[in-house]
Structure 1
Amino acid sequence: MRELDSDGFAALVESIPHAISVHDRERNVIFSNSACAALIGYGTEEFADLEHEQLFHPDDGELWGAMLARVLGTENPSATAHLRIRHRAGHWIWVRVAASTFTADTERLVALVLQDESDTIWGNPTAARQPIR
């Protein structure tokens, strides 16, 4: 099987219509696609400069930390939960966050896939599954 070089990987992730970002263990943004920028309202460079704590709702901080601990631990390299993210315009959006880890060269990276579920959850707050799956 042929391997994708970094340009091929970037082209693949950019073509996917879901918001995707890749982060290092220190939470620095390595890559994000235009769907991610469209979802949260920040350009890719602005997004890269944000701290995760600036994006996630303060009440979701513990859940977010538990997700990261889970995917960076050795037990389970993936986790999914509903979290609120602050859009650049200032309002909150509910997203389903799927986090997983992978290794590139020798570095372990975290991939996030975000799906807007605001319409569903604002109409039915109990639809937000808080436990990490």
Structure 2
Amino acid sequence: MTQELRGGGTPFASAWETVRALADRFDAASAERGVAPPQSHVLQVLKIGEEFGEAAQAVIGATGANPRKGRSHSWGDVHDEVCDVIITGMVALARMRPDAAEYFARQLALKAGRFLPPPAGGGDGA
């Protein structure tokens, strides 16, 4: 998987390099169409909603919850759609913040700290 990402280094760093390349490409496409950054940011966030809808549709199809359609999707389809939601969210953040990777890392640590115990050793240097 890492070989498919742009750049080298850790998969995390490579993933953010790829996300940045996608964000730059979409920013250029928006500029070509005359769409200013504030509007392109709104559209990118709406794209997250669209992708979520596709993930929800896949869950309904994987569980057979719609009797008219039955089991129209697999759990693999759900996994693919959830990845689309995550990638679209990462690209949205990268389009809005030049420091997206660092900002994300700080937010992840902050939010994970609400649910996960502190690292062993307590960080007191002992």
Normalising by the residue count of structure 2, what TM-score does the alignment of the two structures yield?
A: 0.29
Which structure has more helix as a fraction of its residues? 2
Q: Which has the larger radius of gyration?
A: 2
Normalising by the residue count of structure 1, what TM-score does the alignment of the two structures yield?
A: 0.28
